[in-house]
């Protein structure tokens, strides 16, 4: 036990949990604790907008597997966190959002910067800790840190601002270590039996494989079964793309090779994935989900087992431990799939080669709208060609984040990784404005790796303020802005479903490169295909000198497949005045 102030207890608990960096905007609510950050060994990274701080904490936590931490002023500083915390929730990121609150003695009186900060985070956090007196500051702070890692998701640490003051006698709680296991013996035995009898097993490697540090175990299991491996949607870094068994990602704008292979599966091992509904929707007109196959699902959260897809066996286990336990059970057994091993290897190669040549030839979109746009502005670049050039020029150990938009989505076909913790897409929450601040956070956690964000022009305008953070704090990253002068992903719906009636989707843009320069960064505008790769390489090189470069790429208004063909309907109008607003 030691006597200390509650601010001291707070920073000591952060330090005990290994916190080195905190993102936020300064505020009087927690200034007494902020004052102690430097002597506690904590860097405070001031940002432009609190949403950016929470996204940065998300990126930081995703790349490092450690907590990402953000803090802000009670009231408006905290409401600014909401969107980013929701995104972190669906990315399963261990973010701790510290939310100083209005003073406990005046709650409910409608004073300055007061709002009830608990309900707004109730559905987007795994745990909410509310400090209800200075004496419990360290205990509840520590619990929020433990819960974020244990539950894999954001937690909220809500602290009435007056509780930063006061003297207490306490012991700082150390981080809780929990060991995860492979799952129940019976479910492991059943799964091993299904895999032993499988003729065409396919593995889905999900985000849980990355989070568990289980890529090696997944590779070993795949090699033992000589099974093709597909990445779950937006987890392209969950299996090395250079491996012969890698078949690419499922889901929107994913790999046709992966889809055509999983279609043939009789047993699917879904390793570390919740099998989210959006990630297995039909694509390119292919209904690839193998409805007749037996599904083995492995997730450490039992609530995910069988939630979305019917399963034959559910294993509540850690993806790394489960993969190892399954391999152990299969070793020395006679596997049915050994008989057609060569045939399956040929089929994997055939599908992969076919998809690569299709991608090589697919330089522009062929639909009527896209062709019209290409003819109108023939000098502009085709997004697919640009994405291929970026893929070729991407440094081997790059970290890449992607935003929500048509071009960012198409990039799913072209982003390949050999190392886990390299890909940071805006996951199921799908908010525009995710990619740039998130990559800034990854760079703080991994300063030696090149950091690249793919962002559409609409989403860029939402998030570009954080250029100032990069410049002020010397956090060098490379955003690539696809300037197609439109909110393209939404426009695609108006193209396909609303008879080319465009409402709210066209953008008039300034020069984003010039804006970046005015903000103290470097900016280049690219309008020739040959310049794309060299620009990316130079920008990544310049990161070593602490420089942020915005690469603005001038692309056509052509558009790839839409996000939500499944969820839109042709318009029906019954009232006379709206009769013209249909499509034939």
Ligand X SMILES: Cc1ncc(C[n+]2csc(CCOP(=O)(O)OP(=O)(O)O)c2C)c(N)n1
Binding residues for Mg ion, per CB under 5 A?
456-458, 484, 488
Pattern 304-333, ligand X, x by CB under 6 A: ------------------------------
Q: Which phi and psi angles does 519 have, rounded to 5°? A: -90, 0
Query: Taking the complex as a whole, how short is the minimal distance between the CB of residue 554 and ligand X, in angstroms?
Result: 13
326 or 532: whose CB is closer to Mg ion? 532
Q: Is 387 in the site for ligand X (CB under 6 A)?
A: no
Using CB distances below 5 to 8 A depending on partner kind, what does residue 404 bind out of ligand X, Mg ion, none? ligand X
Using CB distances below 5 to 8 A depending on partner kind, what does residue 414 bind out of ligand X, Mg ion, none? none
Count residues binding ligand X (CB under 6 A).
19
**Among 430, 412, 148, 383, which residue's Cα sits nearest to residue 277?**
430
Q: Is 242 exposed, middle or buried (0-12, 13-18, 19+ CB in 10 A)?
A: exposed
Query: Taking the complex as a whole, how short is the minimal distance between the CB of residue 431 and ligand X, in angstroms?
Result: 4
Q: Is 459 in the site for ligand X (CB under 6 A)?
A: yes
Q: Which range binds ligand X by CB under 6 A, 101-109, 246-254, 370-378, 451-459?
A: 451-459
d(CA 44, CA 21): 6
Q: Is 454 in the site for ligand X (CB under 6 A)?
A: no
Select from 102, 156, 280, 406 the one that contacts ligand X (CB under 6 A).
406
Q: Which positions from 344 through 363 interact with ligand X, judged by CB under 6 A?
A: none
Q: Which positions from 31 through 90 interact with ligand X, judged by CB under 6 A?
A: none
Residues 569, 570, 575: CA angle, nearest 5 degrees? 115
What CA–CA distances, in Å, run from 179 to 322, 326, 546? Answer: 13, 18, 39
Locus of tokens 């492979």: 182
Query: Taking the complex as a whole, how short is the minimal distance between the CB of residue 493 and Mg ion, in angstroms?
Result: 14
Q: Is 404 in the site for ligand X (CB under 6 A)?
A: yes
What DSSP string describes 526-553? E-SHHHHHHHHHHHHHHHTTT--EEEEE
Q: Is 458 in the site for ligand X (CB under 6 A)?
A: yes
Q: Which range binds ligand X by CB under 6 A, 54-62, 198-206, 430-438, 575-583?
A: 430-438
Which residue number is nearest to Mg ion in terms of Cβ? 456
Query: Taking the complex as a whole, how short is the minimal distance between the CB of residue 85 and ligand X, in angstroms?
Result: 14
Beta strands in 317-457 (DSSP E): 399-402, 423-425, 451-456
In 10 A of CB 113, how many CB atoms?
18
**Among 229, 276, 274, which residue's Cα sits nearest to residue 255?**
229
Query: Taking the complex as a whole, how short is the minimal distance between the CB of residue 207 and ligand X, in angstroms?
Result: 20
d(CA 381, CA 526): 9
SS3 290: coil
Using CB distances below 5 to 8 A depending on partner kind, what does residue 430 bind out of Mg ion, ligand X, none? ligand X
Select from 297, 482, 521, 562 the one that contacts ligand X (CB under 6 A).
482
What DSSP string describes 82-134? HHHHHHHHHTT--EEEEEEES-TTTTTS--TT---TTGGGTTT-SEEEE--SG
Q: Is 370 in the site for ligand X (CB under 6 A)?
A: no
What CA–CA distances, in Å, run from 417 to 47, 184, 224, 470, 476? Answer: 30, 32, 22, 25, 21
80 or 483: whose CB is closer to Mg ion? 483
Query: Taking the complex as a whole, how short is the minimal distance between the CB of residue 481 and Mg ion, in angstroms?
Result: 9
In 10 A of CB 563, how many CB atoms?
21
d(CA 107, CA 59): 34
Q: Which range binds ligand X by CB under 6 A, 36-44, 160-168, 249-257, 429-437?
A: 429-437
List contacts with ligand X (CB under 6 A). 404-407, 430-433, 456-459, 482, 484, 486-490
């Amino acid at each position: 036990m030691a006597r200390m102030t509650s601010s001291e207890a707070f920073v000591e608990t952060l330090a005990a949990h290994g916190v080195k960096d905190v993102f936020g905007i300064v505020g009087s609510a927690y200034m007494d604790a902020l004052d102690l950050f430097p002597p506690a060994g904590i860097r405070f990274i001031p940002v432009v907008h609190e949403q950016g701080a929470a996204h940065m904490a998300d990126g930081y936590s995703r790349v490092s597997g450690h907590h990402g931490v953000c803090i802000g002023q009670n009231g408006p500083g905290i409401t600014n966190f909401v969107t980013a915390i929701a995104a972190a929730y669906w990315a399963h990121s261990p973010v701790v959002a510290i939310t100083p609150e209005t003073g406990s003695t005046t709650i409910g009186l409608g004073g300055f910067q007061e709002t009830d900060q608990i309900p707004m985070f109730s559905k987007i956090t795994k745990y909410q800790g509310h400090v209800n007196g200075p004496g419990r500051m360290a205990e509840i702070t520590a619990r929020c840190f433990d819960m974020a890692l244990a539950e894999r998701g954001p937690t909220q640490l809500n602290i009435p601002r007056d509780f930063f003051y006061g003297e207490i006698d306490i012991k700082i709680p150390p981080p809780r270590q929990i060991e995860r296991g492979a799952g129940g013996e019976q479910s492991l035995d059943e799964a091993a039996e299904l895999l032993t009898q499988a003729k065409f097993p396919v593995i889905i490697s999900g985000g849980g494989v990355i989070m568990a540090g289980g890529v090696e175990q997944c590779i070993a299991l795949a090699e033992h079964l000589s099974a093709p491996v597909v990445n779950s949607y937006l987890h392209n870094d969950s299996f090395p793309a250079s491996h012969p068994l890698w078949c690419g990602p499922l889901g929107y704008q994913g790999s046709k090779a992966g889809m055509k292979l999983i279609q043939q599966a009789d047993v699917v091992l879904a390793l570390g994935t919740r099998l989210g509904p959006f990630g297995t929707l039909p694509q390119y007109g292919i209904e690839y989900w193998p409805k007749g196959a037996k599904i083995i699902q492995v997730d450490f959260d039992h609530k995910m087992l069988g939630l979305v897809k019917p399963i034959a066996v559910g294993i509540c286990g850690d993806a790394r431990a489960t993969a190892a336990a399954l391999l152990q059970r299969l070793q020395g057994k006679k596997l049915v799939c050994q008989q057609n091993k060569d045939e399956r290897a040929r089929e994997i190669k055939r599908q992969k080669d076919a998809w690569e040549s299709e991608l090589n030839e697919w330089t522009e979109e062929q639909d009527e709208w896209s062709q019209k746009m290409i003819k109108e502005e023939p000098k502009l670049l085709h997004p697919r060609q640009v994405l291929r050039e970026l893929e070729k020029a991407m440094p081997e150990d790059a970290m890449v984040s992607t935003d929500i938009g048509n071009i960012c989505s198409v990039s799913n076909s072209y982003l390949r990784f050999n190392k886990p913790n390299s890909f940071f897409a805006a996951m199921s929450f799908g908010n525009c404005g995710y990619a740039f601040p998130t990559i800034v956070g990854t760079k703080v956690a991994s300063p030696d790796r090149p950091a690249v964000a793919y962002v559409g022009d609409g989403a860029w305008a939402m998030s570009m303020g954080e250029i100032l953070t990069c410049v002020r704090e010397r956090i060098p990253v490379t955003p690539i802005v696809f300037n197609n002068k439109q909110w393209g992903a939404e426009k695609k719906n108006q193209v396909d479903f609303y008879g080319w009636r465009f409402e709210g989707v066209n953008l008039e843009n300034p020069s984003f490169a010039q804006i970046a320069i005015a903000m103290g960064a470097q900016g280049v505008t690219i309008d020739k295909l040959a310049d794309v790769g060299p620009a990316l390489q130079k920008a990544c090189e310049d990161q070593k000198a602490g420089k942020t470069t915005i690469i603005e790429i001038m692309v056509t208004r052509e558009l790839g497949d839409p996000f939500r063909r499944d969820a839109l309907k042709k318009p029906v109008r019954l009232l006379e005045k709206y009769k013209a607003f249909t499509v034939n």
